[in-house]
Amino acid sequence: MGENVRKLGPGRLIIASHNDGKIKEINELVCPYGIEAVSAKELGLNDPEETGITFAENAVIKARAAADAANLPALADDSGLEVTALGGAPGIYSARWAGEARDFGLAMRNVEEALAESGSDDLSARFVCALCVTWPDGGEAVFEGRAPGWLTFPPRGDKGFGYDPIFVPQGYDITFGEMDPAKKYAISHRAAAFRKLKKACLED
């Protein structure tokens, strides 16, 4: 998944997401490059059905749908939490663990309960992100990033979103939920994927 890759110049770029936290984080990353990011949510575009079995496949599905609908380059993120003791779950189903209401308080309780049922004391986990850039003529590129760490309970902090309050990144003693957003943006799985995207699509 990388044919017809080209540079992203200044101009409009669709962020293929309805998740306000993701939209804000991606905006922070692309803004310095003169890119005018507009979200699928702002444009009233529907979320496509995510039928992929990997983060990369789902990112491609979302980016392609947005690029086709708006006839503009699109950037999609598919990301989630992989817990070692749960065999990588919730993984690509991270949002589904939050239920129809996308209640991540519920999702974090579900993770804690699943860990208790597993009988394992291994709290290692990682966030994984796949970013896909797609052009209206069919070119696309996928970039993956990871942030290793471990889980902590009960949740701590209210600065992040999703599972951030239970995830302590490697090398730190505070959760993503307690971390200054600018700091989190610099070390997150999304930032790791974006560094690869930047090298391929934004830098000369």
Q: Which residues are catalytic?
A: 78
* Residue 85 DSSP symbol: G
Residues 78 and 144: beta-carbon distance below 8 Å: no
Residues 160 and 141: beta-carbon distance below 8 Å: no
Select from 111, 88, 115, 85 the least CA-distant residue to 98: 111
Rounded Cα gap, residues 75 and 83, in angstroms: 26
Q: How far is CA 118 from CA 84, 96, 105, 111, in A?
A: 11, 20, 20, 10
Count of alpha carbons within 13 angstroms of residue 193, beta-carbon side: 27
Select from 31, 74, 75 the least CA-distant residue to 185: 31
Token look-up 């309780």 returns 109
74: buried, middle or exposed (CB in 10 Å: 19+, 13-18, 0-12)? buried
